[in-house]
Structure 1
């Protein structure tokens, strides 16, 4: 069973898809500025009696733009998540999964609204943009010399469309964003939406490791020890949001679990789909059983 359409949250029409029945799971896509499309594998959880809610965040995918650029913040995103939860689930507690930037958003939500959560899943997510940038720069230093120099030299000049720079970025993405060829159509759709909309440029910047937008200084690492809900953290061995970033989160959230996907980069839901779904469904089942 799939329900889809638009819902008004905070005066902005948001596109959503609601799959199945069971334990409610709200899913936050990455970007910032992506779309729900690439998270299609998460609908496999329906077979495990999990109800999966996917939606395009403000200014993303098929959803409307906010009234002005003051909305393009993680703080506004948190209020939107709470509005979505209330709209679909009322007073019910939910599981919340955030991937990539969505993981940062999920952490920010938990810091303010953890009483509304049964459990938290941070998938290739981050608690510190500055740390994540440093780790991505370390990965860039491991690229072949000509590609490393292209990123450094053309990036410093702001020549993000230079052919050598574009080729080097593509190699970084092949290693650390998605190790699946050909690229799944659902992932392609997300990338097309990201390019067409302005949210990524406003909040992030020109690419994954050049973060010049509104989130550039965001860091909640030292506040994570206030999170008390059951938490699962997942990361790929070759992830652009590296295992070090994931370990920092694990070390701060008491009792949290960390699972490393040995054959994955940033999109383990595609690279190790079956195991990824098994890990998530096991966490949801165990956490639900403890609460009954």
Structure 2
């Protein structure tokens, strides 16, 4: 009989706001197994679609922490915050507020998509206690991301490209025809599982209900980037990362090899792994294989 892992939820104070946290505890804690913080993407997609990574708790005997970043999910929403409020520094500060409140001084960080970008922002500051960093399906700069998106978009059917171009030029990106065209891209390069997993749909639905963070920092979708992150890059700072680093991506990922190559090339000692027949949500498309790769990496970098 399977025994459900203990899961607790709580809120953590962050500035004058609250960050919602989900803590999964293994049924048997392994000696020396450090906690893992899982950083979701978007920005603004909430933790639901990366929730299955919590299975690493029992698989590796460690605590796994998810949280909804400020502005989305179950954390405080700030639809009236000014544009310049939403910065990577804000989310780095929030991470350490959560970590400190939970009392974890040694830990691993895993970030998916934007979460990997945030993980790199955390790591370049060389925080004491960071045992390892796993960067999953993430670009090292938004310029590289947009170049890759343009190339992948050019491979879509001509009528799909025409619909995207037409509605972007008209500013009608909420039109059903435009939404349908974006789903063609998503089915190829975001999540190739059919039907889309419910956890992904739940994250997307909460973002669509209140899209402040996603629309402000990114834009209307994955390949039409108009937000404040469009000039973001960490390429020139990557040599400052000292934590052991694993970089993973999918074969058909919208984060193409060109987007994540700087992580592998510039972070001293970084390893990389590409999952065959998977795309941007590798952890949903190949969950057991994904967790096995991550578990092995974490095990080798646990500290007593």
* Both proteins in one fold, TM over 0.5: yes
Give CA deviations for 1:197-234 in whole Å, capped at 9, x if unaligned: 22111111111111111211111111101111100111
- Choose the corresponding residue for 1:266, options 280, 285, 289: 280
CA-to-aligned-CA distance 1:105-129 (integer Å, 9 cap, x gap): 1111111243331000101012201
Instruction: Give 2:231's match in structure 1, choosing from 207, 217, 223.
Output: 217
Instruction: Pick from 84, 99, 105 the counterpart of residue 98 of structure 2.
Output: 84
- Work out which of the residue numbers 73, 79, 82 in structure 2 matches 1:61: 73
SS at structure 1 position matched to 2:231: coil
Aligned: 1:38 with 2:49: yes
Aligned ranges for residues 120-199 of structure 1 at < 5 Å?
Answer: 120-197=133-210, 198-199=212-213
By how many angstroms is 1:164 displaced? 3.1
Task: Give the Cα separation in 1 of the matches to 2:127 and 2:235.
Answer: 16
Quote the Cα distance in structure 2 between the aligned partners of 1:84 and 1:71.
19
CA distance in 1, matches of 2:144, 2:127: 24
Correspondence for 1:15 among 12, 16, 20: 20
* TM-score, structure 2 normalization: 0.91
Q: CA deviation at 1:82?
A: 1.3
Structure 2 residue aligned with 1:24 = 35
Contact residue 236 and residue 243 of structure 1 kept, 8 A: no
The reply on whether 1:2 has 2:14 as its aligned counterpart is: no
Return the offset for 1:80: 0.7
Unaligned runs of 5+ in 1: none
SS of residue matched to 2:268: coil
> What SS does the corresponding residue of 1:50 show, helix, strand or coil?
coil
Return the alpha-carbon distance in structure 2 between the equivalents of residues 189 and 210 of structure 1: 22
Inter-partner Cα distance in structure 2 for 1:39 and 1:163: 27
Number of equivalenced pairs: 289
Q: Is the 8 A contact 1:117 1:229 kept in 2?
A: yes
Q: What is the Cα deviation at residue 161 of structure 1?
A: 2.4
Structure 1 residue matching 2:301: 3-state secondary structure: helix
Rounded to whole Å, the distance in 2 between the matches of 1:8 and 1:163 is 39
Is the contact made by 2:47 and 2:73 (CA closer than 8 Å) also made in structure 1? Answer: yes
CA contact (8 A) 2:69 2:75 kept: yes
Separation (CA, whole Å) in 1 of partners of 2:155 and 2:233: 26
Q: Which runs of 5+ in 2 are unaligned?
A: 1-5, 27-32
Match for residue 102 of structure 1?
115
Q: Could you tell me which residue of structure 1 aligns to residue 30 of structure 2? A: none
- For 1:163 and 1:39, how far apart are their aligned partners in 2? 27
Which 10-residue stretch deviates more, 261-270 or 151-160? 151-160
| Alpha-carbon distance between aligned partners in 2 of 1:224 and 1:171, rounded to the nearest angstrom | 34
The CA distance in 2 between the partners of 1:7 and 1:75, in whole Å, is: 18
Two-structure CA RMSD over aligned residues (Å): 1.4
CA contact (8 A) 1:225 1:253 kept: yes
Residues in 1 aligned to 2:286 and 2:103: alpha-carbon distance in whole angstroms: 30
Alpha-carbon distance in 1 for matches of 2:128, 2:151: 37
